[in-house]
Each structure stands twice: as C-alpha cells, then as structure tokens.
C-alpha cells in the first residue's frame, strides 16, 4: 500500500493500540502529520482502560508535540472530527496493531486501513501494509513516507519520534536484524538531547519493582549454564535490562526473559558464549509460534497467543513456562558442535557430489573504494564488514548473500562470465565507507561470474542441529538444521561446510 492511497478520504482517524508505547505513538504521529499536511481532517487517538501514564511517553508527547487523544466512545471520536452524532469517519487507520485485534479498542468507520509490523492476525483489508519482518512500525511508516518522496529529516520532531520508536521496540537497537531498520537508524537526523532525556525516564517505579520480583524468581539450569526468568507484563525494554543484568551473573552464559501479555509473549535473549548466538536461540525459541532475531549477543522476539493455541498449548503461565523450559532444553541437548581445527570427519555414510556451475556476481573492491578503506556492506542477511585490500573481491552469491574474499580464492571457486549481472534478491546491498559515511549501491559495480563447476565434495544429510566452527572462522559457527547438509572438500577434508537443504540441491549434483 502507498500512503497516497489514503488521500482519497477526508475525515480520518489514526488509531494505535491501547496502552500505547513509543513505537505506536511515533507511527501514529507520522501518519497524522502526513495526512494533515495533505489537508485532511484527521485525529490521532487510542482507547482502552488506561490513559498514558509512563513518564517517557508523557515527555515524548509534550516535547515532540504529538497531538494524540484518549477516547473511550464512538461519540467522542465523532466529536473530535466535528462529525454529527452517529456519523462515522470515512477512514480509520490502525498503526502498530491490527483492526479487530484484542489490544485495539473497536471503533466503527466506513473504511479500514492497517499499518503494522506484527504477525498477521486475520484477514487484512485492501488498504494495509503489514511487515512482520520490521523491528518497529515506525520503520514501516518511515519507508512509506520515503516512497512518497518526503524528507523525514526536514522535521526534527518527526525524525526524533521515529528514531525513539525503533530504539524502544528493538532494545536500544540491539535486537535489529533487517537492513531497512538499520537504514532508518543510520539515516534519521534526530535530537540527541531529547533522546537522552527520554532514555533517562524509561523505567517507572512500578517497573523497577517488577524487575526486582522477576529476578527473585529466576530459574538457573546448571548443566547448560542458562537462566529463565518470567516477569510481570512490562515494557519490552525492561526485559532487555533484566537480561543484560542476568548475563553479568557468574556461571550464567545465556538467558531468556519473558513477559506474558494479552495476545502475545515478549522475549529477550542474551548469550556471552560463542557456541550460542542469541539471535539463533531466539529464532529457535519462536519457531512456528512467532518471530525472533537480533544479534549474536542480544536478541529478542515475540510469540503469538493464536499460534500457541493452534498447537494446543494453553495460554496459562504454567504451560507457557513449560513451553520455554522444553524449548531451551531441546536447544541445548539436541545439538552437536564441531570445531574443524580439531575434527576428523567420518566419511562413511557420505556421498560424492559435484558442484554445478551457477551464476553469481562479483565486484572488484578497488573499483568502489581505495585500498585500505574500511566499509560495511548492508545486505538482507545483515551487515558484512570489509577492509579493502589490493586483491579484495566482493562476491554476491545465488541468494544475494555477500562475502569478501581474496583474488586467489576467487580464481579457485569462480570463473568470470561476460553476461550482464542481474541481482537475484529484494534488498539491494549498499556499501558504506567508514571514513566519510558515503553510501553507494553495489550492483552498478557488479559483473557476472560462474561458480566453478568442477570441485568435488563428500556430503550427508544432518539428523541433528549442528554447529560448525570452520578453520577460517573459529569465532562464529555455521548452523545446520536436520535436513540440511554437511560436507567436506574431496581434496581437503578439513574444509567443512554446511548447506541449507534447498541450496544444497541447487548447487550440487550426486555423482
Ligand atoms: Mn511496535
């Protein structure tokens, strides 16, 4: 959906969820401003049983001039818009939540639109933009505003609001994983003094108490050095504060903190050992019932009540606790860890495969940046750091994944190709120089190449979750899930690889 499609309506309500948080306020504020600037009769509201009381949100409303009203009845809503009693708004747009959802008070309007970043809850109206992969609804709105050619940075109150929305919905950006979220974080020109002020009134006295009680009830699992903590419902950033604190405790290597809300459960995950990436653990915990992600040390996620109930799990604290206990146990017990530097692969049971010749792309790094430059390449799979050397080649794989290798490695595994390069993915990778912060698109520099088809490999399907620390990266593991493949080069069996099942069949032929 484009925001401009909303302009065909005149009397408009923008509504965020009950008990608004900073992301809901930021998103509603941005949509309100867009519609107002386009001459619409529009108001921004929320319903529910409570008026906003948290001090950071009250500051946000006052300092950024967010014109939001707390309404309880349809009549109040009509009055706000100057409509006659019993008359309905032409359009109601829900932000940071979906119309008819439990957490959004129901008001009636002639048309409904939805802008959100949660899991899709039910049938969506024609006018909707729900991006479950985005860390904040503010990001969705920011991107929609950009699509309309609007310079968000021209209004520092707006950009500060959006920035704070993402910050609070991603635990101070530590749980970000999608490149568009990172783009927004990096591109917004916000007021840092205002953000500092908000941050310092983040936790209410009540939440401090909640955190204290939660820590008293922490469960520690000695065998695998992790802790699980349940907190009473609170702001997600309080979960992050609790999990950060837990990680500093001796013998706690990983932790999971969660809080149960009406329609969903929020989780925060931390890890300080290289054998567990927090983002991967968060994904594992949420698999099939929600969404998780973030970074290697800090991650988070949310689990949908509806999806738990589909799996016939009761939405009660004891059965939720049992759910987390067994997910954590599965994670730590059912996996194998391989350190390639000290591992001898057993080749029995492995089959011989030949690599197919496939299209990929490459960029001569010095075509883009000078030798010695440090830069970050932003891709759909995350940020990749590169240091440009004379012979650095940036390779774009068949799924749009990016890596930097030396020319000799390139010559070994790839062949140049004369056809035009066509990028296969959706998010166009960019490169940002550390020196001047310049952002360039990579694709215009890309040429076509083929993966060399003659390398041979022994491989087998995995039955267990397997983590491999390769010889080249002893800090970060490759993860294989059951059904994926593990393989070694025929002429060098200490070179261990993991391939996703689908990719494996695309790249290799059984000999
Ligand atoms: Mn949100």
Residues 102 and 149 in one domain: yes
Mean pLDDT of 81-109: 93
Residues 277 and 301 in one domain: yes
Q: Which of 435, 451, 467 is the C-terminal boundary of a domain?
A: 451
Residue 358 banded pLDDT, cuts 50, 70, 90 = confident
Mean pLDDT of 207-212: 89
Mean pLDDT of 450-464: 87
Q: Which of 451, 475, 499 is the C-terminal boundary of a domain?
A: 451
- The domain that holds 103 is classified in CATH as 3.90.1640.10
C-beta atoms surrounding 199 within 10 Å: 15
Burial of 55 (0-12, 13-18, 19+ CB in 10 A): middle
Highest mean pLDDT pick, 34-38, 103-107, 337-341, 352-356 = 34-38
How far away, in angstroms, is 25 Cα from ligand 1 center? 9
Mean pLDDT of 205-221: 90
How far away, in angstroms, is 87 Cα from ligand 1 center? 30
Residue 188 and residue 154 in contact, taking contact as beta carbons nearer than 8 Å: no
Highest mean pLDDT pick, 119-128, 301-310, 312-321 = 312-321
How far away, in angstroms, is 47 Cα from ligand 1 center? 16
Residues 284 and 229 in one domain: yes
How far away, in angstroms, is 21 Cα from ligand 1 center? 7
- The domain that holds 275 is classified in CATH as 3.10.310.40
Residue 4 banded pLDDT, cuts 50, 70, 90 = very high
Secondary structure letter of residue 482 according to DSSP? T
Residues 444 and 376 in one domain: yes
First to last CA, the chain: 48
Q: Over 90: is that where the pLDDT of 26 sits?
A: yes
Residues 76 and 222 in one domain: no
Residue 398 banded pLDDT, cuts 50, 70, 90 = confident
How far away, in angstroms, is 26 Cα from ligand 1 center? 9
Residues 114 and 241 in one domain: no
Please, which residues have CB within 8 angstroms of residue 61's CB and are 6 or more apart in sequence?
A: 25, 52, 68
How far away, in angstroms, is 439 Cα from ligand 1 center? 28
C-beta atoms surrounding 509 within 10 Å: 10
How far away, in angstroms, is 184 Cα from ligand 1 center? 15
Residue 453 banded pLDDT, cuts 50, 70, 90 = low
Q: How many CA atoms lie within 13 A of 331 on its CB side?
A: 27
- Per cent of the chain over pLDDT 70 is 100
Q: Which of 417, 434, 451 is the C-terminal boundary of a domain?
A: 451
Q: Which residue has the higher pLDDT, 227 or 400?
A: 227
Residue 241 banded pLDDT, cuts 50, 70, 90 = confident
The model's pTM: 0.73
How far away, in angstroms, is 419 Cα from ligand 1 center? 44
Mean pLDDT of 229-245: 87
Residues 218 and 179 in one domain: no
**Three-class SS state of 404:** strand
Residue 91 and residue 14 in contact, taking contact as beta carbons nearer than 8 Å: no
Range of the domain at 245: 205-333
Handedness of CA 409, 412, 414, 418 (dihedral sign): positive
Residues 256 and 315 in one domain: yes
Q: Over 90: is that where the pLDDT of 357 sits?
A: no
Residues 11 and 126 in one domain: yes
How far away, in angstroms, is 167 Cα from ligand 1 center? 10
Residues 246 and 152 in one domain: no
> How many domains would you assign to the chain?
4
Residues 211 and 144 in one domain: no
Mean pLDDT of the chain: 92
Residues 310 and 382 in one domain: no
How far away, in angstroms, is 23 Cα from ligand 1 center? 5
Report the alpha-carbon distance of residue 128 to residue 333 in Å, rounded.
Answer: 42
How far away, in angstroms, is 311 Cα from ligand 1 center? 25
């Amino acid at each position: 959906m484009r925001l401009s499609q909303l302009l065909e309506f005149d009397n408009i309500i923008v509504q965020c969820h009950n008990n608004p948080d900073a992301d809901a306020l930021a998103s509603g504020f941005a949509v309100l401003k867009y519609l107002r600037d386009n001459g619409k009769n529009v108001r921004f509201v929320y319903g529910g049983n409570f008026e906003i009381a948290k001090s950071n949100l009250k500051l946000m409303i006052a300092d950024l001039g967010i014109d939001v009203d707390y309404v309880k009845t349809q009549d109040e809503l009509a009055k706000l818009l100057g409509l006659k009693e019993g008359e309905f708004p032409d359009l109601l747009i829900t932000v940071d939540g979906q119309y008819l959802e439990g957490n959004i008070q129901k008001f009636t309007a002639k048309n409904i639109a939805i802008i959100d970043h949660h899991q899709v809850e039910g049938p969506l109206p024609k006018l909707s933009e729900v991006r479950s992969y985005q860390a904040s609804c503010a990001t969705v709105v920011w991107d929609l505003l950009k699509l309309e050619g609007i310079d968000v940075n021209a209004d520092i109150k707006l950009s500060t609001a959006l920035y704070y929305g993402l910050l609070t919905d991603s635990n101070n950006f530590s749980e970000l994983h999608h490149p568009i979220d990172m783009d927004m974080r990096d591109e917004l020109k916000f007021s840092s003094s205002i953000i500092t002020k908000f941050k310092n009134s983040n936790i209410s006295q009540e939440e401090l108490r909640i955190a204290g009680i939660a820590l008293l009830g922490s469960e520690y699992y000695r065998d695998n050095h992790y802790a699980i903590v349940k907190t009473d419902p609170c702001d997600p950033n309080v979960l992050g504060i609790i999990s950060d604190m837990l990680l500093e405790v001796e013998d706690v290597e990983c932790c999971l903190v969660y809080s149960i809300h009406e329609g969903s459960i929020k989780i925060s995950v931390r890890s300080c050992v290289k054998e567990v990436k927090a983002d991967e653990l968060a994904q594992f915990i949420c698999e099939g019932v929600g969404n998780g992600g973030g970074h290697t040390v800090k991650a988070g996620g949310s689990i949908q009540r509806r999806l738990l109930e589909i799996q016939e799990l009761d939405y009660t604290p004891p059965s939720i606790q049992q759910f987390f206990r067994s997910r954590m146990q599965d994670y730590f017990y059912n996996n194998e860890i391989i350190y390639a530097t000290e591992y001898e692969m057993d080749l029995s049971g492995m089959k011989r495969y030949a690599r197919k010749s496939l299209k990929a792309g490459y960029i001569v790094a010095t075509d883009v940046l000078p030798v010695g430059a440090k830069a970050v390449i932003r891709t759909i799979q995350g940020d990749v750091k590169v240091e440009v050397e004379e012979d650095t080649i940036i390779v774009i794989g068949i799924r749009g994944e990016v890596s930097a290798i030396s020319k000799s490695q390139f010559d070994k595994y790839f062949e140049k190709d004369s056809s035009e390069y066509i990028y296969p993915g959706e998010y166009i990778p960019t490169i940002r120089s550390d020196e001047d912060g310049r952002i360039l698109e990579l694709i215009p520099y890309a040429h076509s190449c083929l993966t060399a088809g003659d390398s041979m490999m022994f491989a087998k399907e995995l039955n267990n979750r397997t983590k491999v620390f390769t010889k080249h990266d002893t800090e970060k593991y490759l993860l294989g899930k059951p059904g994926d493949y593990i393989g070694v080069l025929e002429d060098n069996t200490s070179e261990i690889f993991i391939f996703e099942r689908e990719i494996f069949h695309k790249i290799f032929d059984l000999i």
